[in-house]
Amino acid sequence: MLGGTVFLGHHFVDAAIERGHRVTMFNRGRAATVAPPGVELLTGDRTGSLAELEGRRWDAVLDTSGYQPDVVRASAEALSSAVDLYTFVSSISAYADFVPGMDESAALAEPAGAEPDDYGALKTLCEREVHEALPGRALVIRPGLIVGPLDPTDRFTYWVRRMTRGGEVLAPGAPNRPVQLIDVRDLAEWLVRVVEEGTAGTFNAIGPVRPLTFEAMLECCATGDLDDIRTDSRSRSHPGARLRLTWVPDAFLLEQGVEPFSDLPLWLPADVASGFFGVDSSRAIGRGLRFRPLAETVRDTRAWDGGPKDPIRLPEQYDVGSPGLEPEREAALLRAYANR
């Protein structure tokens, strides 16, 4: 396991241990200095020396922390004769365009001259490095938005907190706007199984199976029940707070300088959302990917968010600032929209 301490890596290690595997973690020791019981910890920096990996052999490696092609090339080449399968977690951001229903055959972002912050193009280059180093022995996973306990980005967690707080909520776009996401534990558990099977190839990994709307997601964050849509009633998750969703159109939000996906997480204008949140994951579902109820993800995210958290130094790719609107700005936007 390259990494293993933050979010997906953490849950993958837990799932692998649960299924009886022997796990080795290789990381810098910045996010955690003690490995879980029974897990071997090798301390090193994949951007520098990989000496700790020399002379060793594993059945498979999982790479959740590869963002720069030269770094991925170094680890893939170093492990090419030491593992049977190299699993690389990429992203749907690697696709050039987003067309509703697109599958793994869709064109990838052209990486020529990729800028250091061009996340999608860099992921494309990383994928190619893995395939070149381990032809026929590469498993590439392209998730969409990963959510759930230990999420360092706070994107989905923002909505869980916001709906719990109650009051008038600025709901972006339109109620029927599609949303796709996957619980980190569902992804981790499935990854362990496909790695066990020695599966090579490329898979989109995003859910749920049934279409999910933004409104249904918000209401589930409020009530904990995906089938209980009540936009003007008392939220069971926050007794005493009246909850009302005010849907504010894309055009108004953009005019007010609201940044999609950062100021209002998961919100994208309609022309982008239909493709970005319309990815086909049927190939992974056919290989056993399953999704727990969203209400369970909401419940567990709320419980984790409300509990004590160990301070960790996050890798820079997780440093997305503090997503979501501050209460004062949300209130000002709602007033401006009411007075338009």
- 1 in any annotated domain: no
Cα 101 from Cα 73, distance rounded (Å): 31
Place of tokens 């918000």: 218
Cβ pair 209, 289 in contact under 8 A = no
pLDDT class of 207 with cuts at 50, 70, 90: very high
CATH, residue 139: 3.40.50.720
Place of tokens 């503090």: 322
Cβ pair 274, 97 in contact under 8 A = no
Which H or E element spans position 294? helix 294-305
Residues 193 and 96 in one domain: yes
Residues 20 and 126 in one domain: yes
Question: Between 226 and 214, whose confidence is greater?
Answer: 214
**What is residue 109's DSSP assignment?**
P
Cα 332 from Cα 327, distance rounded (Å): 9
Residues 298 and 154 in one domain: yes
**Per-residue model confidence (pLDDT) at position 274:** 94
Q: Which two tokens stand for residue 108?
A: 């990838």
> Per mean pLDDT, which range of 117-126, 129-138, 179-188 is the poorest?
117-126
Residues 158 and 128 in one domain: no
**Per-residue model confidence (pLDDT) at position 239:** 43
Residues 174 and 71 in one domain: no
**What is residue 106's DSSP assignment?**
S
**Per-residue model confidence (pLDDT) at position 47:** 86
| 196-225 mean pLDDT | 94
Place of tokens 């000496």: 51
Place of tokens 């996957």: 182
- List Cβ neighbours of 244 (8 Å cut-off, separation of 6 or more): 167, 168, 169, 231, 232
How many domains does the chain divide into? 2
Residues 97 and 191 in one domain: yes
> Residue 180 CB: number of other CB atoms within 10 A?
21
Domain span holding position 217: 150-179+210-277+294-307+321-334
- 45 in any annotated domain: yes
pLDDT class of 62 with cuts at 50, 70, 90: very high
**Per-residue model confidence (pLDDT) at position 33:** 61
Cβ pair 3, 27 in contact under 8 A = yes
**Per-residue model confidence (pLDDT) at position 132:** 98
Would you say residue 37 has pLDDT above 90? no
> Residue 115 CB: number of other CB atoms within 10 A?
8
Would you say residue 49 has pLDDT above 70? yes
Would you say residue 220 has pLDDT above 60? yes
Residues 100 and 218 in one domain: no
3-state secondary structure of 143: strand
**Per-residue model confidence (pLDDT) at position 240:** 43
- 51 in any annotated domain: yes
Residues 80 and 174 in one domain: no
Q: On the CB side of 13, how many CA atoms lie within 13 Å of its CA?
A: 22
- List Cβ neighbours of 222 (8 Å cut-off, separation of 6 or more): 163, 164, 166, 235, 236, 237, 238, 243
Residues 301 and 159 in one domain: yes
- 229 in any annotated domain: yes
> Per mean pLDDT, which range of 167-171, 285-289, 321-325 is the poorest?
321-325
Cα 121 from Cα 87, distance rounded (Å): 19
Residue 24 phi/psi, 5° resolution?
A: -120, 130
pLDDT digits (tens, 9 = 90+) for 233-290: 333 344 445 799 999 999 999 999 999 999 999 999 999 999 999 999 999 999 999 9
Residues 174 and 227 in one domain: yes
Inter-axis angle of helices 155-165 and 294-305, nearest 10:
80
Q: Residue 202: beta bridge partners?
A: 140
3-state secondary structure of 127: helix
Would you say residue 333 has pLDDT above 90? yes
Tell me the pLDDT of the chain averaged across its residues: 90
CA angle (278 as vertex; 275, 283 as ends), nearest 5: 130
Residues 55 and 134 in one domain: yes
- 273 in any annotated domain: yes
Cα 83 from Cα 53, distance rounded (Å): 11
Residues 60 and 111 in one domain: yes
